[in-house]
Amino acid sequence: MPERGRSQPKHLSGLGRGHLTASFATAYRSLLKAASVDLMLSDWLWVARERSLGDNIVFYPLSSAVGAVMTPAQSSIRDVVDLKHKKLAVAGGPLDKSWLLLRAYALRAGVDLTKDATIVYGAPPLLLQKALQEETEATLTYWNFCADLESKGFKRAIDLQDIIRGLGAKGPVGMLGYAFNGDWANRTRSTVNRFLEATRSAKEILVSSEAEWQRLAPTIRIGDANALAIYRQRYTEGILRRSLAQEETDTRTLYGVLADIGGRELVGPARELPPGTFYSPAWE
């Protein structure tokens, strides 16, 4: 496990501007299940599915930073109803959870985006370029690519955390976190707890330290001061401040929404969040 130290925050706290492709994500998940790695970044949706299929994988939330529907500053799009008859680019694919949550929220407003809008799927870097070239009217993408677009004058027309609250959550939900084997965690609980505490400490350093962000700027490939300020703002907004019990309650609500719209192909056999999905460290 990593040791505490000045060089750790960029690793422990989830910084990074890239996005794992589906093939890389699948490879890392296979390594985790084969015990070739101890833990990995993933989401509670995958962990819940694996638990429903019999694997003792657990989840600990890391960040509530989520994406948004990004549009040019002058766009008239303000809400999901404004997406009707528009060309909407979606990062990922048809089973991407952000897309499914947006679809579910739109359906409650009487809009079926699969029929009422033109949907284009693609990798986030490609969709960013398409947005800048004005080949699409709106782009649903991940938070770090949203920050890129925001620094280039785009606006967060529809924030996914607003969608999440509209679907029944009481606060910002940690969508990304650490996934690891529950049996391994029980055998090494002290080590796991120290690691998770180190991530919390690293994040607090990034909240308060301008110097750390200046040091990290080359690593995350941001040379513009305004772009770095936006990236820092969106990153720190995603730092979790709620209890694990609150996180789990809201996750259970969102899981039900995703199970309804994504079905067995998305969640597997479990229609409700499987018991034991969340790992509880010593301080919770």
pLDDT tens for each residue of 80-107: 999 999 999 999 999 999 999 999 999 9
Residue 28: what pLDDT? 61
Residue 15: what pLDDT? 53
pLDDT (average), residues 37-43: 90
Over 50: is that where the pLDDT of 10 sits?
no
Which two three-digit tokens encode residue 231? 């990236």
* DSSP category for residue 81: G
Over 90: is that where the pLDDT of 148 sits?
yes
Percent of the chain's residues with pLDDT above 90: 84
Over 70: is that where the pLDDT of 142 sits?
yes
Dihedrals phi, psi of 48, to nearest 5 degrees: -60, -40
In the chain, what is the straight-line distance between the N-terminal and C-terminal CA atoms, in Å? Answer: 21
pLDDT (average), residues 208-213: 96
User: pLDDT tier at 3 (50, 70, 90 boundaries)?
Assistant: very low
Distance CA(239)–CA(43), nearest Å, equals 15
pTM over 0.85: yes
Question: Looking at this protein, which amino acid is placed at residue 183?
Answer: D
Dihedrals phi, psi of 216, to nearest 5 degrees: -80, -20
Residue 65: what pLDDT? 96
Dihedrals phi, psi of 78, to nearest 5 degrees: -130, -25
Over 80: is that where the pLDDT of 235 sits?
yes
